Structure 1
Amino acid sequence: MKPVRILIAPNAFKHSLNAMDVATAIEQGLTQSTLDCICECFPVGDGGDGTGALMIQKHNGLLVSATVNDPLERPVRSSFGLVNNGHTAVIEMANASGIQLLRPDELNPLRATSFGTGELIRLALDKGVREIVLAIGGSATVDGGTGILRALGIRFLAADETILTTPESLTGLATIDVSGLDPRILTCTVTILCDVDNTLVGDQGSAAVFGPQKGATPESVKKLDASLRRFADVAHHQTSVDMTRLKHGGAAGGVAAGLYTFLKADLVNGIDFFLAFTNFGEALDQADLVITGEGSLDEQTLHGKGPFGVAFQAKQKKLPVLGIAGNVPWEPDEALNQYFDVLLAIGNGPADIHTAMQLTQQNLIRTARQVGNLLALTGTIKTKS
């Protein structure tokens, strides 16, 4: 009998373990089991925090360090990656404009900006890149990407020509001056990896849905939504682009909408782009079984999340797929069952969410060990000849 070849391709378990640590824990459990197997760890990202680092690592990219501005425009050490012989820059928004850079008591999306991410983009242009890939998860901002655009030379002006620099000030926006925009950015391909479909404004917009996670009070949410509406109105008048209608436009506090409108950025499904960029198909060709997962696997998973992208491609090749998560539905609907042959929750008895997150690693190891033992007993996985 040949050993079973298992491709381990999880997303991060948010607020608990990054994707690489999840994959390593699953591998550890499988190797402790009685199953004769060969494991390949292929952690994935769908545009969320950590996606850029995985892409750079897969391409053996070069890290470029720099000091830029954090969300409150204080100096912070950051970095981006160069891959494809220096032709492509992979930039992680969280590294310069991320919520991780602020203490809980500092969160303030009325003032936080994406300016530092724009500085990273400008530095990448200095390196002569032809393509910029931007992973936008984990941001602390709801500024419509105006911070990035300011760093690249666009000015946002009030009626008296005062320069507006904060999200809360955009309600007074009268004119967007693009004459100073760095011309190099318009000769680059800019691709934004999105993991949500939300539009820019409204009840399902970036302020309403993501603002509270970034420290916005109910009153702040209203102000931010008004600012983004004003930004959209002025932009529509000047460019004829209605950014309020864009699918994915609300991603990362509206960064997707702003960069689509002024930089002609491509808004793409994050996991689909990631899997193509990292040659995931080649790893699938060697696999007998695919294991994926993230913190929760449910109906929302089917809306462009990492595990769905993995499962979809695996099913194209008629491979069995095992989904592992902290939380799974009691009765998965037919759509989930179509892509996941088995869904397993890793919990080992009742636990509050804080305790469960602390136990993620050991629960993953235990669950994977049990899966391996069961597969060894039943011999249900067919190996490639």
Structure 2
Amino acid sequence: MKIIVSPNSFKGSLTSIQASKIIYEGLKIYNPNFKIKKLPIADGGDGSLDIFKLYFKYNSVKKTFLNPIGEKITTEYITIENNKTALIEFSNASGLILMKNKKRDLRKLSSFGTGQQIRSAIQMGVKNIIICMGGSATIDGGTGILRALGVKFFDIYSNEILDENPIIKMKNFDLSNFILFNKKINFHILVDIKNSLLGKFGAVKIFGQQKGLKEEDFNFFEKSMCEFSKLTDKKFLSKTGNIIGGAAAGGAAAFLKEFLNAKIYNGTEYILKKINYKSLLSRRFILITGEGRLDSQSLFGKAPISLIKFLNKENFFSIAIGGSVEHKNIDKFLKHFDLVFSSCDSNNLDFCIKNAENNLFDLSKKIGKIINCLNLSK
């Protein structure tokens, strides 16, 4: 029986491509005769672009764009399908990874650079734009993106907002210069969460802390997001607050759905279909998947469980690896997987990240032994 190795990234330590290679090597050390196929995956978060590069012929477009604090950086997006489709990773121009050792004032951070990438792709003449929404640094409801596409935002005094996060004092917006007027472009937004925009499980309350939002600013940002939602709903006759996955990328997903007439997809399922994942499998197989942490969020749209659901009618034995595993949810994980392992038993996150490669390699050797003992590879 073939072993299929399909991890997501181990956030902060290993890409999915690196993780699949380490698992492969660990299994082979134990038994060189294992038949193993590496099929790393992504969920629409960091590293999704690299997965598309792995499975598609592509062209890289490298240009100068702005990061969340307005500094010029060189980053890329790619085109596939004979340049008809552009793939943009939100985090490449507007990601949390770009803010290491930088002051994070969420009243000023903007997704404008991602909007520049979208504008560049539109000017290239693409027909489809796929935006992978994970890993964002911003909570601007996508207003930075929309500004780059020609939308103007105004404060209570009818002054255009240029240097701050528009969402914090916006009272109106104008679409007169919107670049998408009279253009037919299909926008697909890939998310790895199911959270809607507002409330205690929304963009601000759930994801604000990891982006550096100060405790005293939570209610202010929630109110601001709610105001933008009301303005948008009035203009487009929509219900942005109820959109599943709308909380992704600091609320950008919900508003881009309306302004760009975009469709929102579960990132893992979309990518698996796009790369024709099932066609790469054997009739019977052992599946090894995983990601940096298996916790309550993993149950709502993250890659490993989304992969299992995608393969629900296939004939396979499943093994999940978490860099760490939330033990109170272990019974829930075991409803989806046959076996669940943690590659690091320490509660020290820095230790687990620093030793991620060695820990995953050692665990993979042990999993190889288990596969042998259970006679699963026959």
Quick check: TM above 0.5? yes
SS at match of 2:31: coil
Q: 1:221 aligns with which of 206, 218, 223?
A: 218
1:63/1:80 contact within 8 Å kept: yes
Is 1:354 equivalent to 2:350 in the alignment?
Answer: yes
2:27 maps to what in 1?
30
Is 1:326 equivalent to 2:331 in the alignment?
Answer: no
1:210 maps to what in 2?
207
SS at match of 1:66: strand
Q: CA deviation at 1:312?
A: 2.2
Structure-2 separation of matches of 1:212 and 1:116: 22
Structure-2 separation of matches of 1:285 and 1:193: 27
1:284/1:314 contact within 8 Å kept: no
Change (3 A) 1:166 1:259: farther
Q: How many positions carry a matched residue from both structures?
A: 378
Q: CA deviation at 1:56?
A: 2.8
Structure-2 separation of matches of 1:190 and 1:131: 6
2:143/2:167 contact within 8 Å kept: no
Change (3 A) 1:181 1:117: same
2:107/2:168 contact within 8 Å kept: no
Q: CA deviation at 1:175?
A: 2.1
Q: CA deviation at 1:328?
A: 2.8
1:379 maps to what in 2?
375
61-70 or 155-164: which moved more?
A: 155-164
Q: 1:273 aligns with which of 266, 270, 287?
A: 270
Q: How do 1:34-53 and structure 2 match up within 5 A?
A: 34=31, 36-53=33-50
Q: How do 1:101-250 and structure 2 match up within 5 A?
A: 101-165=98-162, 168-183=165-180, 186-250=183-247
1:363 maps to what in 2?
359
Deviations 1:241-260 (A, max 9, x none): 12112111111101101101
Q: CA deviation at 1:16?
A: 1.4
1:68/1:116 contact within 8 Å kept: yes
Change (3 A) 1:34 1:168: closer
1:251 maps to what in 2?
248
Deviations 1:274-330 (A, max 9, x none): 111111111223552110001222443221110012222334202111111122354
Q: CA deviation at 1:104?
A: 3.8
Deviations 1:104-131 (A, max 9, x none): 4411211101110010001111221100
Q: How do 1:54-133 and structure 2 match up within 5 A?
A: 54-133=51-130
Deviations 1:194-242 (A, max 9, x none): 1112222222221121122111101222222222112112112222112
Change (3 A) 1:35 1:370: farther
Structure-2 separation of matches of 1:115 and 1:247: 24
SS at match of 1:15: coil
Q: CA deviation at 1:153?
A: 0.7
SS at match of 2:350: helix
TM-score by length of 2: 0.94
Amino acid at match of 1:283: L
Q: Which runs of 5+ in 1 are unaligned?
A: none
Structure-1 separation of matches of 2:151 and 2:280: 43
Amino acid at match of 1:163: E
Structure-1 separation of matches of 2:333 and 2:272: 20
Structure-2 separation of matches of 1:212 and 1:136: 18
The percentage of aligned residue pairs carrying the same residue is 29
Is 1:295 equivalent to 2:292 in the alignment?
Answer: yes
SS at match of 1:27: helix
Change (3 A) 1:292 1:380: same
Change (3 A) 1:89 1:159: same
Structure-1 separation of matches of 2:165 and 2:144: 12
Q: 1:310 aligns with which of 287, 290, 307?
A: 307
Structure-2 separation of matches of 1:12 and 1:239: 37
Structure-2 separation of matches of 1:287 and 1:21: 25
Change (3 A) 1:87 1:168: closer
Structure-2 separation of matches of 1:280 and 1:113: 35
- Which contiguous aligned blocks of 4+ residues in structure 1 show a shift greater than 4 angstroms? 166-169, 329-335
Amino acid at match of 1:206: A
Structure-2 separation of matches of 1:300 and 1:143: 22
Amino acid at match of 1:323: A
Change (3 A) 1:145 1:169: closer
The CA RMSD measured in Å over matched residues stands at: 2.0
